[in-house]
Amino acid sequence: MTKTAAIVGGGVIGGGWAARFLLNGWDVRISDPDPEAGRKIDEVLANARRSLPGLADVALPPEGRLSFAASIAEAVTGADWIQESVPERLDIKHKVLAEIQAHCSVDAVIGSSTSGFKPTELQQGAIRPEQIVVCHPFNPVYLLPLIEVVGGDSPAAATADKAAAILTELGMKPLKVRKEIDAHIADRFLEAVWREGLWLIKDGIATTEEIDDAIRFGFGIRWAQMGLFETYRVAGGEAGMAHFIAQFGPCLSWPWTKLMDVPELTDDLVKTIADQSDAQSGMHSIRELERIRDNNLVAMMRSLKGQNWGAGALLNQHDTRLRAAEPAVDFSAPIRTLARAVPIDWTDYNGHMNEARYLESFSKATDRFMELCGCDADYIAGGDSYFTAESHIRHINEANAGDQVYVEALLLDGQGKKMHIFNSLYHADGRLLATCEQILLHVSLETRRTTAPKAAVGEMLAMIQAHHDKLPRPEGIGRAVGQRK
């Protein structure tokens, strides 16, 4: 049976909630007086439909039904979950929550998106205080999994447990806050960093961009995969967290920041932190933690490379510098079109480079061959390119993470509209790992039909083919799938 979520307040956060529920198969009813609410929600949903399914390797459930209610009463009647996301004013929230409770089911979860108010503050004057909990998300709600659930030390303890179970089913990570506190947990960290950033700008020490760079090129990436304390545990080396605190704890009393109200690092506090750190990470040695950290950092930064953003853009720039320093191409021999290490995220459950990455290697090698022939970014921007029409890969040997590999390309035919290439992937020790024979066709990007390449590209291909026609033909050319050796 399809469940229903009522979203009261359809702004940025409310729209994100609507997307999270809708794309996980819930029906969603929205109440918002803004005449532009429909357009805004549609735009948020468009982004969510584009991105959220990409996180899953299986199909999401059929999308629920979206509707807009004329009133809060209409939205919440019969709803299983009600999410309040109205402006951050306690008087407004009290008024809205009272209207919600006047019309909703007594067993519905009422979650508030508040980033700062405590549950007991929201529950003041409520006819059923045990029904109201804090469910504080992070933008974009449809992608980021963290959700702070606060209510365990209030009359709503049972509702907090029920909310956490439902949120888990939506693919989220409920963080059940042990004791209610202003701004919960995450926003207290963010507020401290924000406060320090404002001082650095005011004192003329850093710009907004420089502060953001300090985060996104450094500790922000580490925090994304290990958080604060596990990162420091690794920094403590083999001696662990207690050693890290002994080394760096005294710094907390130095005037490094504007935030100088620091708890005393008593033996009891150090032991509590060390014991919790052992429980969190003690099943791994420090070397294992370092490898886990390195694997995660490589995977995240390589993902950023694909978007040419932040640390990924920096890595792309470095690739460009490295390529510029490569020796001149010898067109009279097979052309080296790719040379690299096998990254950690290219391996499968067997620990070997997986078949998709063989194809990716050959694809990048062919892209480089096209560039060398003059079919570069400017040429493609001018309206022409080569499209791959057919590929045939033979898997011959295995490659592992960290192995140095390279591709050499032999042009078999570059006349007319066709480019026929034979690529060979080698290990640095000379072992042949795989081959890929490809046919590409020159295409007009305007008509999407095949056409002859521009003269400069055609002449370059003719020159390369004249050289390569003199070279020995490698074994495997023209093979079909399943053909006996």
Which domains does the chain show, CATH number per domain?
Answer: 4-184 (3.40.50.720), 327-468 (3.10.129.10)
**pLDDT 10s digits, 195-209:** 888 888 888 888 888
Taking 80 as the threshold, does the pLDDT of residue 243 lie above it? no
CA distance 44 to 13: 10
pLDDT in the model for residue 219: 87
Q: What is the DSSP string of 113-126?
A: --SS--HHHHTTT-
**Residue 219 carries which DSSP code?**
I
Taking 80 as the threshold, does the pLDDT of residue 262 lie above it? no
Three-state secondary-structure class, residue 359: helix
Taking 70 as the threshold, does the pLDDT of residue 254 lie above it? no
pLDDT in the model for residue 260: 65
Out of 342-356, 373-387, 422-436, pick the least confident. 342-356
Higher pLDDT, 113 or 188: 113
- Location of structure tokens 């009261």: 8
pLDDT in the model for residue 38: 93
Stated length of the chain: 485
pLDDT in the model for residue 258: 67
Three-state secondary-structure class, residue 409: strand
CA distance 346 to 400: 9
Three-state secondary-structure class, residue 376: coil
Torsion of CA 23, 24, 29, 30, to 10 degrees: -60
**pLDDT 10s digits, 26-71:** 999 999 999 999 999 999 999 999 889 888 877 889 999 999 999 9
289 near 230, Cβ under 8 Å?
A: yes
Taking 70 as the threshold, does the pLDDT of residue 255 lie above it? no
440 near 411, Cβ under 8 Å?
A: no
**Residue 402 carries which DSSP code?**
T
| Backbone CA torsion sign across 69, 72, 74, 76 | positive
Q: What type of residue is 212?
A: D
Average pLDDT in the chain: 90
CA distance 398 to 52: 34
**pLDDT 10s digits, 106-149:** 999 999 999 989 999 999 999 999 999 999 999 899 998 999 99
Three-state secondary-structure class, residue 142: coil
pLDDT in the model for residue 174: 94
Burial class (CB in 10 A: 0-12, 13-18, 19+), 302: middle
Q: What type of residue is 29?
A: R
CA distance 368 to 373: 9
pLDDT in the model for residue 55: 85
Dmax (CA) of the chain: 90
408 near 335, Cβ under 8 Å?
A: yes
pLDDT in the model for residue 248: 67
Q: How far is CA 70 from CA 37, 76, 210, in A?
A: 12, 11, 46
